[in-house]
Structure 1
Amino acid sequence: MRIAVIGYGAIGRFVIEHLHADPSIEVCAVFSVPQPANCAAPLVDSIEALLSKKPELVVECAGHQALRDAGEAVIRGGADLLVASVGALADPALEQTLRRAAANAGGRLLIPGGALGGIDALSAAREAGLDSVEYSGRKAPSAWKGTPAENMIALASVTTAQTFLECDARMAALRFPQNANVVAALALAGLGFEKTKVRLIVDPTADGNTHSFMARGAFGEISTTIRSITLPSNPKTSVLAPFSLIHAIKKRAGLILV
């Protein structure tokens, strides 16, 4: 299967390097701004050039603005689009634009579970009868640096775990684009952005990123907790996030059916 990648930061580079070991998947193009000095796949200088390589699947790994800039063109170009920056879909206008493009073009919008487990069970629970979904994200102070959390709590002075924000999934995803993509996936799989409750926590004792959610409804209850180590190059990102993309790519290629 021919794939192309948008973005060659920590996640894009990780995904490409791990796919090189699989001879059934070819990374035919990479578009990244600025262009990296060294890239393990062919570089192109525009989305149009990327689509000219005829990828079956395009993997977005470049952030919310990249999805806004390129998402519709990719789907209308006939390629499936696998989204890492799921939180961008908390923007109602962008979500509707991409949904319309997928409904009227050859490409599909694919949402991975990211660093969060139990997304498939949550989707099933929505069909069976889902009343509430509550998420909790716990990360070390370093993971919240460079985010609005710096204006909400004195990160350097925290000595015990503290909640610094409680809100709905839409606010969390839009205010924390590098930290809260999982809550967008949770919202899309479950009750939607407004009805998905979010709690963000800074914990100086955390040795990874911990994602938990509780869902209740006519079906019963779902409770999941995952603690993932972070990418060495980016403490904001759980290592399971890029591996979720890799799994989705291999599944799309027909190599994994689970």
Structure 2
Amino acid sequence: MKIGLIGNGAIATYVRNALEQRPHQIDAVLMRPTRVAENPGLYVGSVQDLPDDLDLVIDCAGHAALAAHGPAVLRRGIDMITVSLGALAEQNVLQSLEAAANEGGAKLHLASGAIGALDCLQAARVGQLEQVTYVGRKPPIGWQGSPAEQKIDLGSLKSGAQIHFEGTAREAALAYPKNANVAAAVALAGVGFDKTHVRLIADADISSNIHEIEATGDFGSFRFQISGQSLPDNPRSSALAAMSVLSKLDNIAGTVTL
């Protein structure tokens, strides 16, 4: 497949390096126009400059980039993969992406990100899901640069845990655009942004990012927990989130999929 990439951060770098071992090629990287001069053969500054024969565009650049570039990519008839699921909490962004995908005959594929068990939630919602709760627990450093800094003193939290957010998945995704994509993934797989309960915690006694889902419904109940490592280049970026992009790509390209 011929692939375009949006972004040049920790997740994008991981994806680029991994793609070197796969039978795909990156034909273009969409960057800020000021960066295009660094590699004019590969970097482009607008969606209009992307090659016409791309099979897929992968967005690894965050909520703002998906909102800014996603509709134009989809309108051109190019499928996308994104990990910026929290952007879909903005109703106007979701509607714009849906309208563009319909116009262009393209699909927006949502990578599962840093969490698992979403297939269970998707199956369970066929019946009646009564309650879904997501709890995100990270070391204090993992919340730096987020609204958690205004709620608690992250620097002085040397032991124990403190809750710095409790509310709906929509509120979490909008308030924590760099930290709450998992909350959005859980919401989209289950009962939606406004019915999914979210709790975000800074925990000085852990060294990894811990994500939990609890759900009850007609199917029964389940509790899922994963302890994930962050990418070395960015403590806010999950290694599994980067891996989920490649997994989604393999799923799209494969002939037998799960």
CA displacement at 1:38 relative to structure 2: 7.0
Divergent runs of 4+, >6 A: 36-39
Match of 1:55 in 2: 54
Q: Is the CA contact 1:28–1:53 (under 8 Å) kept in the aligned structure 2?
A: no
Instruction: Give distance in 2, aligned partners of 1:31 and 1:185.
Output: 25
Count of residue correspondences: 255
Match of 1:95 in 2: 94
Instruction: Give distance in 1, aligned partners of 2:129 and 2:93.
Output: 26
Q: Is the CA contact 1:6–1:32 (under 8 Å) kept in the aligned structure 2?
A: yes
SS in 2 for 1:127: coil
- Compared with structure 1, are the counterparts of its residues 37 and 84 closer, same or farther at alpha carbon in structure 2 (3 Å cutoff)? farther
Q: Which runs of 5+ in 1 are unaligned?
A: none
Instruction: Give distance in 1, aligned partners of 2:8 and 2:52.
Output: 18
TM-superposition CA deviations, 1:57-110 (whole Å, max 9, x none): 111111111111111111111011111111111101111111222233221011
Match of 1:110 in 2: 109
Q: Is the CA contact 2:78–2:104 (under 8 Å) kept in the aligned structure 1?
A: no
Aligned identity (percent) is 42
Q: Is the CA contact 1:139–1:209 (under 8 Å) kept in the aligned structure 2?
A: yes
- Compared with structure 1, are the counterparts of its residues 73 and 36 closer, same or farther at alpha carbon in structure 2 (3 Å cutoff)? closer
CA displacement at 1:36 relative to structure 2: 7.4
Q: Is the CA contact 2:83–2:112 (under 8 Å) kept in the aligned structure 1?
A: no
- Compared with structure 1, are the counterparts of its residues 35 and 111 closer, same or farther at alpha carbon in structure 2 (3 Å cutoff)? same
Match of 1:152 in 2: 151
Instruction: Give distance in 2, aligned partners of 1:74 and 1:250.
Output: 21
Moved more, 78-87 or 195-204: 78-87
TM-score (norm 2): 0.94
- The one-letter code matched in structure 1 to 2:75 is R
TM-score (norm 1): 0.94
Instruction: Give distance in 1, aligned partners of 2:112 and 2:166.
Output: 22
Q: Which runs of 5+ in 2 are unaligned?
A: none
- Compared with structure 1, are the counterparts of its residues 239 and 37 closer, same or farther at alpha carbon in structure 2 (3 Å cutoff)? farther
- Compared with structure 1, are the counterparts of its residues 37 and 136 closer, same or farther at alpha carbon in structure 2 (3 Å cutoff)? farther
Query: Which residues in structure 2 correspond to 1:1-258 (within 5 Å)?
Result: 1-22=1-22, 24-33=23-32, 34-35=34-35, 42-50=42-50, 52-158=51-157, 159-254=159-254, 257-258=257-258
Instruction: Give distance in 1, aligned partners of 2:26 and 2:93.
Output: 27
Q: Is the CA contact 1:136–1:213 (under 8 Å) kept in the aligned structure 2?
A: yes
Cα RMSD for the two superposed structures:
1.6
Q: Is the CA contact 1:168–1:198 (under 8 Å) kept in the aligned structure 2?
A: yes
TM-superposition CA deviations, 1:209-247 (whole Å, max 9, x none): 111010110111121101011101110111100000011
Instruction: Give distance in 2, aligned partners of 1:255 and 1:149.
Output: 44
